[in-house]
């Protein structure tokens, strides 16, 4: 049994002072208080959930040499960013390499309780995506392929049943049948890295796809005014939209328009790579190609600077950006990176992503500046204080 603890601060949405009581890893009660004054600058919110995380703080989930111990280090590193739950994301590579990365994540879950708690499931992004330049993004062309049921079974076995989301392009041969299989097995089918027609996108949604992976990215640099696959996904009410909030993948005006269009189905993701936290410079990625991390935080292919190579901004800063850009309040942005991702994974009813009696005691205490900045003061995971800001 975990220690009973409580925290006092301002509610992330309405700003009134609350006390959160926790015991045995769960929220026991939320009580509204008269403001005591001392907590005026301290806020309390659900901890963040990242559905698309390729790596962080030097730990690459797509490097075959990464060890379970390093993944545990990444989990602890994320606590300082307010991220308590996430989907480690394995992207397009050769068959054996992807399998090895998936297996390593599963081994980390088996070896480290904090990893097992943090990993809500593995997100496999590719290899069943478009082979076209633009929609393919930074995924290697030589490893892009059509959906393969046998390969998926290998992922499922290697992961110990932890594959929770798969991103697929609807135009790939066999995509609709593959999506139906994923949905039958309780796996979220996401659309991404696609050049699909409206008809193909509709067929994917009819088959059960419920998510757009980093909508507006993994696309052609130039598109017809209309119709095009970005408009089609924005208009499809059955699809949640993952939106990278680093300020580069989607310029503020685009991010605002997409959030307004998707409404309660807008989800903020980081799409961060292990270059998050690195100094600007030129880096060799997995020994295969060079990337540039520019001074403004933009991460691009060195030989094709118009193509992103993932992101280098942690989820808390993405959330913060949404508020700083004037799109919504900070509390509403937090909902897009806590409750909404839990909804995508079908976990919201269990209380994941929210703070209410009976929900997991996953929360952040933060200070909010007038400029929209959000500084994490403390992170609590399963009723345990796992990060406290020093000073």
What are the catalytic residues? 271
3-state secondary structure labels for all residues of the chain? CCCCEEEEEEECCCCCEEEEEEECCEEEEEEECCCCCCCCCEEEEECEEEEEECEECCEECCCCCCCHHHHHHHHHHHHCCCEEEEEEEEECCCHHHHHHHHHHHHHHHHHCHHHHHHECCEEEECCCCCCCCCCCCCCCHHHCCCCCHHHHHHHHHHHCCCEEEEEECCCCCCHHHHHHHHHHCCCEEEECCCCCCHHHHHHHHHHCCCEECCCCCCCCCCCCCCCCHHHHHHHCCCCEEEEECCCCCCCHHHHHHHHHHHHHHEEEECCECCCCCCCCEEEEECCCEEEEECCCCCEEECCCCCCECCECCCHHHHHHHHHHCCCCCHHHHHHHCCHHHHHHCCCHHHCCCCCCCCCECCEEEEEECCCCCEEEEEEEECCEEEEECCC
CA distance 247 to 235: 23
CA distance linking residue 308 with residue 298, whole number of Å: 8
The C-alpha atoms of residue 88 and residue 51 are separated, in whole angstroms, by 8
Q: What is the dihedral of CA 104, 73, 283, 307, to 10 degrees?
A: 70
What end-to-end distance do the CA atoms of the chain give, in Å?
Answer: 30
Q: And the tokens for 164?
A: 């929770």
d(CA 330, CA 352): 19
- Asked if 274 and 59 touch (Cβ cutoff 8 Å), the reply is yes
């Amino acid at each position: 049994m975990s220690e009973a603890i409580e925290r006092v601060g301002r509610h992330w949405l309405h700003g009134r002072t609350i006390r959160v009581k926790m015991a045995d890893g769960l929220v026991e009660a939320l009580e509204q208080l008269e403001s005591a004054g001392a907590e005026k600058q301290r806020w309390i919110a659900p901890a963040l959930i990242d559905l698309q995380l390729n790596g962080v703080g030097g730990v690459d989930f797509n490097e075959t040499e990464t060890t379970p111990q390093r993944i545990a280090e990444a989990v602890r590193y994320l606590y300082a960013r307010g991220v308590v739950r996430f989907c480690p994301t394995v992207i397009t590579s050769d068959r054996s390499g992807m399998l090895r990365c998936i297996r390593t994540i599963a081994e980390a879950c088996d070896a480290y309780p904090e990893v097992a708690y943090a990993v809500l499931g593995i997100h496999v992004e590719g290899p069943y995506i478009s082979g076209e330049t633009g929609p393919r993004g930074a995924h290697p062309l030589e490893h892009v392929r059509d959906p393969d049921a046998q390969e998926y079974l290998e992922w499922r076995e290697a992961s110990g049943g932890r594959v929770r989301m798969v991103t697929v392009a609807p135009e790939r041969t066999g995509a609709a049948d593959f999506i139906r299989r994923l949905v039958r097995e309780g796996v979220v089918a996401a659309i991404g890295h696609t050049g699909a027609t409206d008809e193909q996108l509709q067929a994917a949604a009819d088959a059960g796809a419920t998510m757009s992976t980093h909508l507006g990215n993994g696309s052609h640099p130039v598109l017809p005014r209309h119709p095009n696959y970005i408009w089609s996904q924005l208009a499809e009410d059955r699809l949640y939209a993952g939106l990278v909030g680093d300020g580069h993948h989607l310029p503020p005006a685009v991010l605002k328009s997409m959030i307004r269009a998707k409404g309660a189905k807008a989800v903020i993701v980081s799409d961060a790579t292990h270059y998050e936290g690195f100094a600007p410079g030129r880096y060799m990625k997995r020994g295969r190609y060079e990337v540039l991390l520019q001074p403004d935080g933009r991460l691009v292919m060195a030989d094709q600077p118009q193509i992103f190579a993932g992101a280098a901004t942690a989820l808390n800063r993405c959330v913060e950006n949404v508020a700083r850009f004037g799109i919504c309040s900070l509390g509403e942005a937090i909902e897009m990176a806590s409750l909404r991702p839990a909804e995508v994974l079908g976990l919201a009813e269990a209380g994941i992503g929210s703070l209410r009696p009976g929900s997991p005691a996953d929360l952040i205490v933060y200070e909010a500046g007038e400029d929209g900045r959000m500084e994490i003061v403390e992170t609590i995971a399963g009723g345990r204080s796992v990060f406290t800001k020093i000073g």
